[in-house]
Amino acid sequence: MAVDVQVARPKMPLWVKVFIGIGIAFGLLLIGVLLFGGAEHGPGRHLGGQGDSSSSGADTPPTEHSGTHAPAPNGQANDARPGIPTA
Amino acid sequence: MPPRLRKVALTIHIIVSVGWIGAVAAYLVLDVTVSASEDVQTLRAAYLAMDLVTQWSILPLAYATLVTSLIVSLGTKWGLFRHYWVIISLVLTVFALVILVSEARTISSLAEAAADPATPDERLRSLPGTLLHSVGGTVVLLVVLVLNVYKPRGMTAYGWRKQQEQRTQSPP
């Protein structure tokens, strides 16, 4: 005896909705950082004049992430690094 | 895909994807080192090693993971767009790869500066690490790993349609 069973289309599981929510939140956070964080996010933020070592910009030290590093051994703040070309 | 070939593809996929996580773990050690160390010799060595690990281990394994994941998903019943866990894994893998390719350029620049004997010690100490990205990348890879092991339920509308088609076509 054949039984014709109508199978309902499955709904999106909760865990997928949670993943999508996290993804949207992360995307908005990234956009916020790019818009209001000085637009310094990206590979170029670490080294000025990247890819052209002959340019003076190649010697420019990074300006970001300094806070994650230990201060210079002589007690100087990281912003007062030797070798920074000042205008 | 024939069962034997499918097993070979799956084995290669597991090797390269777990290898990717292992290579990132090794990279993390170096990244923590450049963030914490003040020793110039250690910093130079660590930046150079970070670049080598990235270029010769992490990047090839990441590309291989993406290629083998496509082969395994398209060559098996799981498909590429039939199950949510497959789609999310793919999206996360591509996202991790894009960020990795972008970071690889930064890491090469840092290694160049570290390899240059003319780079002053103070500047070397002030070079940044990439800890935020490497920790974030590790989390993403572990999420993908968990998704692939647990394969949580959830079929997409496309997957459901395909399943219905197969049921109607298959003989009773």
Distance from CA of A12 to the nearest CA of B (A): 7
**pLDDT tens digits, A21-51:** 999 999 999 899 888 876 555 555 555 444 4
Q: What is the 3-state secondary structure (H, E, C) of chain B?
A: CCHHHHHHHHHHHHHHHHHHHHHHHHHHHHHHHHHHCCCHHHHHHHHHHHHHHHHHHHHHHHHHHHHHHHHHHHCCCCCCCCEHHHHHHHHHHHHHHHHHHHHHHHHHHHHHHHHCCCCCHHHHHHCCCCHHHHHHHHHHHHHHHHHHHHCCCCECHHHHHHHHHHHHHCCC
Q: How many CB atoms lie within 10 A of CB A77?
A: 9
**pLDDT tens digits, B12-29:** 999 999 999 999 999 999
Distance from CA of B85 to the nearest CA of A (A): 8
Token code pair at residue B101 = 């390719």
Give dist(CA B46, CA B41) in Å, integer: 8
Interface test with B, best of A63, A69, A74, A76 (most B CBs within 10 A): A69
pLDDT (0 to 100) of residue B69? 96
What's the pTM?
A: 0.77
